[in-house]
Amino acid sequence: MIKNFIKIAYRNLLRNKGISAINITGLAVGMASAILILLWIQNELSYDEFHTNKSRIYEVWNRMPIDGKISCGSHVSDLVARLAEHDLPEVERAVRVDNPNTQLLSVGDKKITQMGSIVDTGFLQMFTFPMLEGDAATALNDPHSIVLTEKTAKALFGNADAMGKTVRIENNENFTVTGIVKDPPDNTRFQFDYLLPWWNKKYGEGQNLGWGDNSTPTYLMLKPNANYASMAPKLKVLKQKYDEEARKIKWELFAYPLSRWRLYSSFTDGVEDSGGRIEFVKLFGIIAGFILLIACINFMNLSTARSEKRAKEVGIRKVVGARKQSLISQFLAESFLIAFLAGCIALVIVQLSLPAYNQLTEKNLSLDFHDVYTWILLIGFVGLTGLLAGSYPAFFLSSFRAVEVLKGTFKKAHALITPRKALVVLQFTFAIILIICTLIVKQQIDYGRNRQTGYDRNNLIYQFMTGDIPKNYAVIKNDLLASGIAKSVTRTNSPLTERWSDGWGQNWEGKDPNDRTSFDRYLADEDLGATAGLKFVEGRDFNLQTYPTDSTGLIINESALKAMKFKNPIGKTVDDLGVKWHIVGVIKDFILTSPYEPTRPLLLCGAKSKFMTFQVLQIKLNGANPTAANLKGAEAIFKKYNPDYPFEYKFVDQAYAQKFDNEQRQGVLAALFAGLTIFISCLGLFGLATYMAENRVKEIGVRKVLGASVAGITTLLSKDFVKLVVISFIIAAPIAWWAMSRWLTDYTYRVSISGWVFAGAGLLSVMIALLTVSFQAIKAALANPAESLRSE
């Protein structure tokens, strides 16, 4: 029976090659698109889910009042970890993980720069990073121990055994390799090339502010049978227990579970909201479902459109004794065969697309064909697609009554609304929504890019102060200026496009005791104004040669001036982090973080800062010289004074452009999905138009004999499809407006949704439909009526 079903299905495919090709192509593209999206979703859902103790692991968060709101932050004081172990009986282990840092690792003459983290000794016992060599319980016990990833060990030692060998870091300290771990997968927040024990965390003078320093990610692992509900109230007041300021403002701590780190972590006024990456996961899931559904709709429409040709087959089968169940099985067998063929082609498309798709999504996605579960899921996916695509045609075709079919009276009058029309409308509704979303995302990106940054990014590069750069800063600066490579050079604590420090608690004359405004902090040497092209409203830039006291000078931006409410700010004193700063200048606001958010109050501190250190060299290249020549000359100078480290510069304008990566990625994906949806929809429309032209060939012949023009016949054949697209636009427009209005609420600086976007999307969709249908319509209209009417 099954063999017979497959044989008949195969013959039907060959008999209708054009329709079969459209069905298989549409399903293949739809299935490939869905598989790629589902791979991305699976990766997002699996983040840090591989840890054996995942259900017991939490991250400690702050909840505190700032700027009149309750704010939440994932970095806390480094004092929390040990106190949590001591004061909270439910906690088995607490681990601190310092922010990753790139350093020079040396073994003999081999030198490589790698990114590593300083962690507490229990890190490898809390988190599951399999040890290839060494013991997770003791690998980080010695202050001079180092754990390498498999990749780093191979890079340093080749195929030799790395255990017990010595690695020198930053040319000043030796560490013994005590463990080798497997390389971290890409679906974890912990990305490192090596690990050092916490004893190597070094604070400069005045940098460790105790409870005032909230810069340390801290994780708790509860005991196996511990009750989270009993632990939470104790953790909530842990900081208040030891810090008077925390008691005064009711600063709280809370434990955030591992399962919510990646996809949620979005808070409004101290309470977790519905935002976060989970919104994108849900959205992508909906898109995957709709793309697959649209491909299945093509199959349904083309199968039911051919119902007249299959009707007599159904009637004869019923007359000779075929039951409805047998007919349903026959038609489902055809859909499963098409789904199988489409699935094979889809896998080829997926494998060919993965490199570009991984580059776009910045992931390392793949299909593991060696895993039996992969095959089970793929077979289930193909089967589900075949069932979804074939169920409606199977029940529709098998429901014909034999008597009516063989008499030729089974045809129904043309209804205003038919399932086929509704399915076409659904296809184009989804396509138009994606077109509108793509246009608005592009508008928002352009809006952010065109916003004034407040500084001059042209010919501005930065280099991190690695190795010997700090001690040779003066001569490097002098050589860059003397050689004409640079017009200006300065040093700062972070790149101009990043905020590495912020906080509240500053004091100034006339401050409201209840004011808890949070300020961004930035450390700068002299000449930052000239190097970055900052615009001064009042006062001047730092100049240590003329004004030695500028080491405790302070430059504030207009937002900070507004917060402090100074009428004459120059010379006013601001107390922050144990230093009394005096204001020497006021600058216009410049964008330090997101171009879509308001600029925050900024304190640009002089060189005397104890809490921040110079870590970045900012260089304004001489625009009179070719950029390549400037960079080649700069590299020679850095190699002279910092020979062990590469010259790894970055253009500030490129770093600023990276701020748009997330929105750019969303826009590209929306455009890609819109294109695929339109392609699949147009395939189905083309098939329907082809079949319609075939069915109405005699009608067209009669009309031409009676004097109908080519344009008139083309309009006659196209107008029904255009009506469906117009209805789709009417449905899609309000849905797209609602969706994008909600998306734009995440941005303080945002575009207003323009009417031309909807008009353009509507016009584009109608033109695409017309181009798709008109080919067949014109072809039918140009046909010789003598050929179609010869049998009459």
Task: Label each residue of 109-153 as H, E or C.
Answer: CEEEEEEEEEECCCHHHHCCCCEEECCCCCCCCCCCEEEEEHHHH
Taking 60 as the threshold, does the pLDDT of residue 415 lie above it? no
Give residues with Cβ within 8 angstroms of 459, minimum separation 6: 620, 621, 622, 623, 627
Q: What is the pLDDT of residue 20?
A: 78
Phi, psi of 323 (to 5 degrees): -90, 160
> How many other CB atoms are there within 10 angstroms of residue 166's CB atom?
13
Q: Is 712 left (phi over 0), alpha (psi -120 to 50) or beta?
A: alpha
Q: 205, 204, 208: which is closest to 216 by C-alpha?
A: 208
User: Residue 413 — pLDDT band, cuts 50, 70, 90?
Assistant: very low
Phi, psi of 194 (to 5 degrees): -155, 160
Check: CB of residue 292 under 8 Å from CB of residue 31.
yes
Taking 50 as the threshold, does the pLDDT of residue 205 lie above it? no
* DSSP string for residues in 544-559: TTT-GGGGGEEEEEHH
In Å, what is the CA distance from 761 to each residue of 440, 664, 718, 775? 11, 20, 19, 22
Q: What is the pLDDT of residue 221?
A: 96
In Å, what is the CA distance from 496 to each residue of 456, 590, 662? 11, 9, 19
Per residue in 461-492, pLDDT (tens digit) is 999 998 889 999 999 999 999 999 999 999 99
* For range 635-658, the mean pLDDT: 90
Q: Which of helix, strand or coil describes residue 348?
A: helix
User: Residue 343 — pLDDT band, cuts 50, 70, 90?
Assistant: very high
Check: CB of residue 312 under 8 Å from CB of residue 405.
yes
Give residues with Cβ within 8 angstroms of 413, minimum separation 6: none
**CA 238 – CA 31 distance, rounded (Å):** 52
Q: What is the pLDDT of residue 495?
A: 92
Taking 60 as the threshold, does the pLDDT of residue 416 lie above it? no
**CA 736 – CA 738 distance, rounded (Å):** 5
C-alpha Rg value of the chain to the nearest Å: 34
Report which residue type is found at 262: R
Start-to-end CA span in the chain (Å) = 41
Per residue in 657-679, pLDDT (tens digit) is 888 888 888 888 888 888 888 88
Phi, psi of 455 (to 5 degrees): -150, 170
Check: CB of residue 9 under 8 Å from CB of residue 337.
yes
Distance of CA 774 to the CA centre of its chain: 39
Q: What is the pLDDT of residue 691?
A: 65
**CA 3 – CA 158 distance, rounded (Å):** 57
In Å, what is the CA distance from 739 to each residue of 34, 279, 756? 21, 12, 17
Residues in the chain: 792
In Å, what is the CA distance from 658 to each residue of 160, 281, 448, 654? 39, 22, 12, 6
Q: What is the pLDDT of residue 391?
A: 79
Q: 82, 107, 105, 104: which is closest to 94 by C-alpha?
A: 82
* For range 348-358, the mean pLDDT: 93
Q: 720, 716, 694: which is closest to 703 by C-alpha?
A: 716
Please give the residue that has the higher pLDDT: either 449 or 85.
85
Q: 423, 393, 294: which is closest to 27 by C-alpha?
A: 294
pTM attached to this predicted model: 0.82
Taking 60 as the threshold, does the pLDDT of residue 307 lie above it? no
Mean pLDDT across the chain: 86
Q: What is the pLDDT of residue 716?
A: 74
- Within 170-215, strands assigned E span 173-181, 194-197
Check: CB of residue 195 under 8 Å from CB of residue 201.
no
Check: CB of residue 59 under 8 Å from CB of residue 261.
yes
User: Alpha-carbon dihedral of residues 143, 149, 150, 156, nearest 10 degrees?
Assistant: -60
Check: CB of residue 753 under 8 Å from CB of residue 745.
no
Phi, psi of 568 (to 5 degrees): -125, 85
CB-side neighbour CA atoms (13 Å) of 163: 10
Q: What is the pLDDT of residue 354?
A: 93
Check: CB of residue 573 under 8 Å from CB of residue 580.
yes
- Within 497-597, strands assigned E span 501-503, 507-508, 519-523, 536-539, 553-557, 573-576, 579-587
Taking 90 as the threshold, does the pLDDT of residue 245 lie above it? no
Q: What is the pLDDT of residue 414?
A: 52
**CA 365 – CA 42 distance, rounded (Å):** 10
> How many other CB atoms are there within 10 angstroms of residue 321's CB atom?
7
Give residues with Cβ within 8 angstroms of 440, minimum separation 6: 736, 740, 743, 744, 751, 753, 757
Q: 126, 124, 127: which is closest to 145 by C-alpha?
A: 124
Q: What percent of the chain has pLDDT over 70?
A: 88
Q: What is the pLDDT of residue 734?
A: 94
Per residue in 289-299, pLDDT (tens digit) is 888 888 888 87
* For range 748-776, the mean pLDDT: 86
Check: CB of residue 392 under 8 Å from CB of residue 336.
no
In Å, what is the CA distance from 344 to each residue of 48, 294, 319, 672? 32, 19, 37, 22
Please give the residue that has the higher pLDDT: either 733 or 1.
733
Per residue in 25-34, pLDDT (tens digit) is 888 999 999 9
- Within 7-56, strands assigned E span none
Q: What is the pLDDT of residue 38?
A: 93
**CA 331 – CA 46 distance, rounded (Å):** 38
* For range 142-165, the mean pLDDT: 94
**CA 630 – CA 282 distance, rounded (Å):** 48
**CA 512 – CA 491 distance, rounded (Å):** 34
Tokens of 360: 């776009």
* For range 204-214, the mean pLDDT: 66
User: Residue 423 — pLDDT band, cuts 50, 70, 90?
Assistant: confident
**CA 312 – CA 391 distance, rounded (Å):** 20
Q: 652, 661, 662: which is closest to 497 by C-alpha?
A: 652
* For range 603-607, the mean pLDDT: 91
Give residues with Cβ within 8 angstroms of 429, minimum separation 6: 728, 731, 732, 735
Its sign, for the CA torsion 426, 334, 382, 683, is negative
DSSP state at residue 285: H
In Å, what is the CA distance from 527 to each residue of 491, 492, 533? 9, 11, 10
For every residue of 643-699, which 3-state class applies, written as one string?
CCCCCCCEEHHHHHHHHHHHHHHHHHHHHHHHHHHHHHHHHHHHHHHHHHHHHCHHH
Check: CB of residue 621 under 8 Å from CB of residue 483.
no
Please give the residue that has the higher pLDDT: either 203 or 271.
271
Q: What is the pLDDT of residue 399?
A: 65
Q: What is the pLDDT of residue 208?
A: 57
Please give the residue that has the higher pLDDT: either 740 or 701.
740
List 180's β-bridge partners, or say none: 133, 148
Taking 50 as the threshold, does the pLDDT of residue 206 lie above it? no
From the number of C-beta atoms within 10 Å of its C-beta (0-12, 13-18, 19+), residue 105 rates as buried
